[in-house]
Structures are given as structure tokens and as C-alpha cells.
Amino acid sequence: MEFNSLSFIIFFTTIFTLYWIIGSKNNRKQTYLILFGSYLFYAWAEWRFLIFLIFTSILTFYVGKFIEESKSIKQQKLLLFIGLLQGIGSLLFFKYSNLVIDSINSLFHIVQINQKIPRLDVLIPLGISFFTFRTLSYLLDIYHKKIDTCKDWLHFFTYVAFFPSLLAGPIDKSKLIIPQLEKQREFNYFQIKDGLKQILWGMFVKVVVADNCALIADNIFSCYNCWPAKTLLVGAFIFTIQVYADFSGYSNMAIGFSKLLGITITKNFNYPFFSQNIAEFWRRWHISLTSWLTEYLFTPLSIAFRNFNKFGTILAILINFTLIGLWHGPKTTYLAFGFFHGLMFIPLIIKGNINKKNKKLELKKLPSLKEFINILFTFTLVTFLFIIFKCNNLEEVKYIYTKIFSKSIFYNVVLIYENFNYTIFFIVIMFVLEWLTRNKEHPFELSNVKSKFIRTMIYYLVLLCIFIYSVDKGANFIYFQF
């Protein structure tokens, strides 16, 4: 059940109506409704996954409770270990077991052992990486005494399974969601109106921009050896925009649907393509994942490596980004994607620019030439790295890079897609709107447009664009697979 499907619209309208009518004066009823809705939403894809989700919730809830109640540090450590083992263990099992098996088989082959371990035929529970990171942060925060345990199972289970962000994030911290579940939620007209606008923006970006980009990019990369360099390059740019539009579109819809339920969740993207260097890009891209890893991985690693000065930071960054790459799945291309992103940080670490924030740009109408070149350079760099992300193996990556830097870059671009022109038009519209509203949460706030009539007409126009220019059988959300 995808956010842009009719079944979800029917599902959400029902939940929304019951939520504000039946549960308007009883926050427990509201929370029950969210939990029921979340489980229904999850079971819609595959009911067996629901058992796993409930099991993870139960285990984390009680392990958290016991950690807090336990007086002995040794016992706390053991409990934390159990909790982490379940979380990380299930992630490793579902996502990486075949990678491990393949590696062992390769090792057997090298040392000439005539044994082959069969690959496991496991279905990966949808959104496992997202809800597992939520439960892990909950346990770690309790262990480090950053938060108190959640006393009410209902609130905790709802936090873990909260359907707008269940399948593809954002990865919210419990201290953000649980307090909101505990208190009475009031029907806030302005919040709901804003939520609807944000959903519309997310829908536009996903359905009109991302899905059309997917048609082009998939076509180019499915036959990467058929095209000249320029076409591959165009494909790489289009794919990078596709990933952004797909994921940020989803995130905007998730935030919008949460607002409709009176709940605020984390912003996941902050106009990353206006970044002036790779560090800034990662502060603006998939924010909830990067901040999670910064808190629970990069910071402890930096402290552990602090004696190595800049080399220590480089090492921590490389480990952090390699894991970000691997988080996407058991593929060497994902690993390389993360590792190379890490490598791009090295010049910034050496120059000491890694944490430098450019606030000036947010206040300007247009960037200076230098800023523009920086933005363009960062976008191009990211695009080249997304080629790795798109490819199925490193041979493909090598082939494409070699081709792009070959003589065929001077040949004419070959594009046979009838949707190409309007896709480019909508990409430009998306970026222009984002640039103009980059200080706001989303471009459809339209607070500068004073006339209600014009605002309404803009929304109708967007709906019309979604209707006409969507792809009939659009691509699935890319991040659902992670």
C-alpha cells in the first residue's frame, strides 16, 4: 500500500475520520487507532512480517524496562547486549546472511574445500532497517540514561510501528514521538492544512518527477553498454534526481500524513542539492539516518580515535560512511558508494572545513559565482557517486566510468524518451520552487501568495499535473527495499 495508491487514500481517510471523530477527546483511543492502522498497513504487504515487528516491539519494550530497573551495570550491559543482538542480529540475518554465505563459499573455493553452503531463501521484512534503528536508539538511550523507559506498551508499540514513517523513515528518536503520543492531540486546523500541502508537494515530486525520471534512468542503465557517454551521463544525473525526488517525496508525504494525525516527525531532507560541499550535502540528505549514525557511531569512534587527530577523524568518517553504504544492502556497490563518499570528506577534514556552515546563502536571492560553482561541483560529484549506487556490480561501474571519460563523450546525446522534455521541465520547476522556498519547510507553504484564489488555483494545477504526467504504473519507492 503506497502513499500514492487509491487503497492508501481510502485507508488513511478512514483512519483520519475515526481518529478525529471517535478519538477527539480520548488520546488512548487515538493511539489505539494509529497502532491498529499501522499493523494493518504493515500486514497489507505481508502478514508474516507483522509477527516479526510485534516480536521486536515486545522484546525491546521489556529489555528497555529491565535495563532501567536493573541496579547492576553488568546486568544492564548483558540486557543491552541481548537487545542489540536481536536488532543487529535480525538485520544481519535478513539482509546480510546471503552475503556471508557467499563469502564463506568463496573462501571454501579458494582453499579448495568441496563444500557449498546453500543460500537462504528469506524474505526481507519491509522497512526493517528503519524500525530496527528506532528500537536500537531507544535501548542505547536508556542504557546511557538519556531517556526514561516508556511505561505504556501502547505508546511504545505505536512509536515502533508508526505507519507514516514505518517503511522508509524518517528514523525518529523515541523522545520525539512518545511524548506526543502521551498527550492529548488537538485538532489543529493550520497544522492539518500544512500537512495536506506537504503531502501534495511530496506527491508531485514523487509521481511527476521521480517516476518519470525512473522511466528514463532505468531504460538507460538497463542497457548501459548500448549508449554513448553523454547519454550515460544524462542518465546518471536523471537517476540522482530520481533518488532524491523519490525519497524526499516519500518523506514529505510521511511528514504530511503525520501532521494530519497531529504528530510532528523529523525532517529528512533540507534541500541537499544546494549544498556547497559533500559534508554539507550529508547534513542535508537523509538527515535522520546521518544524525543517528553520527550519534551512535561516528561520535564514539571519533572519541576512540581522538589520539590520531585528523587521521582519526578520517578513519571514523570512512567507517561511518562505509556502514551507511552497507545499510542499504549486501552489495559491493553499496559498500563502495559509502566508502567513496567517505573519501570525499578527506580534503575537507585536512582543510578543517568539515563543520563549516554557510548561512549566508540562505539569505540571498541568488548565489555568488563561487557559491554556484561549489553547488554545481557538489551536485556533479554526488551524481558520479550515485552511478555506483545504481549499478549491479563493480564491473558495471568500471565500464560506465571508462565510457564517460572516453571519446564518445563528444558524440551526440541519444535520447528516445517521449517523456524527456516534460520531465526536464518538471525537474526545473522542482528546483526553482525549492530554491525560492529553501528557508521554509516545504515549497507549498505559499505564504508569499496572498490571494487565496491564486493559491487554490495553484493546488488545482498541481493536481492536474499529477493526474496527467504521472506514470501509469509508477516505480515503487526506492527506499522501501532498504
Partner 1 sequence: MKIFIKNILYFIIPLLIVILLFDFIISKNLSECKSISHGEMGVWNDIYKRKIKAEIAVYGSSVACFQVNSGLVKKETGLETYNFGIEGHNFFLQYLRHKLYMKYNKKPKFIIYIIEPYFLSFNKELFSLEQFLPNIREPEVVDFTSQMEGLRWYDYFIPLIRYYGKTNEITDAFKNIIGLRENSYIRKKGFYGQKLTWDRTYLTYVKSTTDCYKKNIDIKSLNLFKKFISECKKDKIKLFFISPPVQKEGQSLICGKSKFDHLIKNIALKNKITYIDYFNDSICNDTNLFFNARHLNYKGANIFTHKIILDINKSLK
Which residues in this chain contact partner 1 in the complex, by CB under 8 A?
6, 20, 24, 187, 189, 192-193, 418-419, 422, 456, 459-460, 463, 467-474
| 36 vs 422, beta carbon nearer partner 1 | 422
d(CA 64, CA 80) in angstroms, rounded, equals 8
- Output the smallest distance, CB 419 to partner 1, in A: 7
C-alpha cell at 160: 515502533
d(CA 283, CA 358) in angstroms, rounded, equals 12
- Output the smallest distance, CB 46 to partner 1, in A: 22
- Output the smallest distance, CB 194 to partner 1, in A: 12
- Output the smallest distance, CB 378 to partner 1, in A: 33
| 187 vs 311, beta carbon nearer partner 1 | 187
Residue type for position 286: H
d(CA 15, CA 10) in angstroms, rounded, equals 9
- What secondary structure letter does DSSP report for 442? S
Residue type for position 374: N
- Output the smallest distance, CB 20 to partner 1, in A: 7
E strand or H helix at 20:
helix 6-21
d(CA 178, CA 316) in angstroms, rounded, equals 31
The residues, any chain, with a CB within 8 Å of residue 305's CB and separated by 6 or more, are 311, 312, 313, 315, 316
Q: Phi then psi for 330, rounded to 5 degrees? A: -85, 65
- Output the smallest distance, CB 462 to partner 1, in A: 12
| 6 vs 123, beta carbon nearer partner 1 | 6
- Output the smallest distance, CB 465 to partner 1, in A: 10
The residues, any chain, with a CB within 8 Å of residue 143's CB and separated by 6 or more, are 67, 76, 80
d(CA 53, CA 40) in angstroms, rounded, equals 12
C-alpha cell at 387: 552511478
Q: Please, is 369 exposed, middle or buried when counting C-beta atoms within 10 Å of its C-beta (0-12, 13-18, 19+)? A: exposed
| 111 vs 416, beta carbon nearer partner 1 | 416
Region of 90 (left: φ > 0; alpha: ψ -120 to 50; beta: rest) is alpha
| 6 vs 110, beta carbon nearer partner 1 | 6
- Output the smallest distance, CB 420 to partner 1, in A: 12
| 102 vs 186, beta carbon nearer partner 1 | 186
CA angle 269, 205, 447 (to 5 degrees): 75
- Output the smallest distance, CB 140 to partner 1, in A: 40
| 142 vs 200, beta carbon nearer partner 1 | 200
| 308 vs 467, beta carbon nearer partner 1 | 467
Q: Please, is 84 exposed, middle or buried when counting C-beta atoms within 10 Å of its C-beta (0-12, 13-18, 19+)? A: middle
Closest CA to 165 of 86, 246, 253, 90: 253
Residue type for position 384: F
| 247 vs 469, beta carbon nearer partner 1 | 469
- Output the smallest distance, CB 456 to partner 1, in A: 7
- Output the smallest distance, CB 466 to partner 1, in A: 9
| 470 vs 481, beta carbon nearer partner 1 | 470
Identify how many contiguous H helices and E strands the chain contains and give both numbers: 22, 0
d(CA 262, CA 31) in angstroms, rounded, equals 11
Location of C-alpha cell 512480517: 49
| 72 vs 447, beta carbon nearer partner 1 | 447
Query: Would you give the distance in Å from CA 134 to the centre of its chain?
Result: 13
